[in-house]
Structure formats: structure tokens, C-alpha cells
């Protein structure tokens, strides 16, 4: 039996400032660092065979802080752009309230919460899924199926895409899915069923 642990990075400094971040490489806020350490404490006692992160500092630092808090020995770590956050195009760096004033509340809501509508010059959730799901299927899932315990530290939209694949969510269901920062989501590989099954959350 092997486990897959998905975690959205801790709060970033741009999350704190309510800015569209996307691929901008910002660090964690003080709260985000605390969230990563708390996740590490929740996961203490586990051992991971491999860690996957995006290319972005906030996801990398979250994984590093989790492992440090766990007292985990050095482990294979793989960074992949395919599980980077959604790219927000023209919205990148904008304050979300400012974007609502410029483009209208309804339009910004559509850009943020629809499945396949892109902001100007950016990606939709469908675009993010088109890169993150194949990477999950080809690189991450086979490691779990081989009996390895895997940690994935990534982002709200890349992880929503992966959860959509694992849990068989519809487009309407995935756009309503919220993943809190720094909150581990754990799955166990069920050999009999041949699939990942959501596990009880750690205390």
C-alpha cells in the first residue's frame, strides 16, 4: 500500500496582498511558512520516496519546510513546470479588487471560476489541466502504483486538475473545488480497486 500526498503551497506574499500570481516566482508569507511547518508536523512519521514540486519558489519552499519539520532524510526531488500554477496573462500582478473595477465583477468571476474561459493572454483551468493531468498520469501516478509514497507540492489550479482526474470530478464540480493553502490531501493506492482512494485527514 502506498500513499500520495497533495499539498497546495502555503500562503504566498502575493496571496496575502490579494494579487493574481500565476507564474511570478514569489515567496511564502510568514503565515505561509507557518502553514508549511504545521503540515510537516501533521505528516511526521511518514517517509516519502520521491517529492514532486512545481518550478516555483513557493511550492519548492513549502516542500522543503515540510520535510525539515518532519525530520525527513534527503529524498529524490523532481521539479516540473507542468504542475506550475495557472498562467494569468494580463491579470498577472493585478490586485483582484482592482481587476473587478477595471473589467467588471462578472467578467473577473468568469475568468476565475469557469473551466475553459481564458483571461487575456492567460490560461483557463482547462489549459492547466491539459499539462498537469498528463504529467500526473505519466510521471507521478506510476511511482505510486509501484509502491512508493509520493509528496506533491504545487498550486491551487494544477492540484485541482489532478484531483479532478483522481476523483472523477465534472467540470462543474472542479470549478467549485477549493484547496486550502498548506492543507495535505491524502490518497492511498488500493490494489484491489486499481485506483487511488481518499484517506482520512491527519489530525
Domain ranges of the chain: 3-18+27-88+125-198
Instruction: Judge whether 72 counts as a catalytic residue.
Output: no
Tens of pLDDT along 114-157? 999 999 999 999 999 999 999 999 999 999 999 999 999 999 99
Q: Which CATH number fits domain 3-18+27-88+125-198: 3.40.50.1240, 3.40.50.620, 3.30.450.90, 3.40.50.150?
A: 3.40.50.1240
pLDDT tens sequence across 98-115: 999 999 999 999 999 899
List, for residues 69-88, the tens digit of each pLDDT value: 999 999 999 999 999 999 99
Tell me the C-alpha distance between 43 and 72, whole Å: 10
Whole-number pLDDT of residue 1: 85
Is the predicted pLDDT of residue 202 greater than 60, yes or no?
Answer: no
The answer to whether 34 and 136 have CB atoms below 8 angstroms apart is: no
From the candidates 85, 123, 155, 165, give the one annotated as an active-site residue.
85
Q: Does the global pTM surpass 0.75?
A: yes
Among 9, 35, 82, 165, the active-site one is 9
CA 76/CA 114 separation, integer angstroms = 36
Helix (H), strand (E) counts: the chain: 9, 6
Q: How far, in Å, are 50, 78, 119, 180, 183 from residue 73 at the CA level? A: 11, 16, 42, 27, 22
The alpha carbon of 164 is separated from its chain's Cα centroid by a whole number of angstroms, namely 12
9 is catalytic: yes
Amino acid at each position: 500500500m502506498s500513499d500520495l500526498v497533495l499539498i497546495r503551497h502555503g500562503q504566498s506574499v502575493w496571496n496575502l496582498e490579494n494579487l493574481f500570481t500565476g507564474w511570478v516566482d514569489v515567496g511564502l508569507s510568514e503565515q505561509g511558512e507557518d502553514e508549511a511547518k504545521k503540515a510537516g508536523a501533521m505528516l511526521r512519521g511518514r517517509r516519502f520516496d520521491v517529492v514532486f514540486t512545481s518550478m516555483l519558489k513557493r511550492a519548492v519552499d513549502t516542500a522543503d519546510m515540510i520535510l525539515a519539520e518532519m525530520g525527513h532524510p534527503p529524498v529524490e526531488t523532481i521539479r516540473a513546470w507542468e504542475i506550475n500554477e495557472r498562467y494569468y496573462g494580463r491579470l498577472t500582478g493585478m490586485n483582484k479588487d482592482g481587476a473587478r473595477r477595471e473589467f467588471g465583477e462578472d467578467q473577473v468571476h468568469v475568468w476565475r471560476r469557469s473551466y475553459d474561459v481564458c483571461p487575456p493572454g492567460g490560461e483557463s483551468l482547462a489549459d492547466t489541466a491539459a499539462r498537469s493531468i498528463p504529467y500526473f498520469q505519466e510521471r507521478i501516478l506510476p511511482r505510486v502504483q509501484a509502491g512508493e509514497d509520493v509528496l506533491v507540492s504545487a498550486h491551487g489550479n494544477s492540484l485541482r486538475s489532478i484531483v479532478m482526474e483522481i476523483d472523477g470530478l465534472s467540470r462543474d464540480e472542479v470549478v467549485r473545488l477549493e484547496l486550502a493553502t498548506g492543507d495535505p490531501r491524502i490518497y492511498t493506492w488500493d490494489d484491489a480497486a486499481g485506483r487511488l482512494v481518499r484517506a482520512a485527514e491527519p489530525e
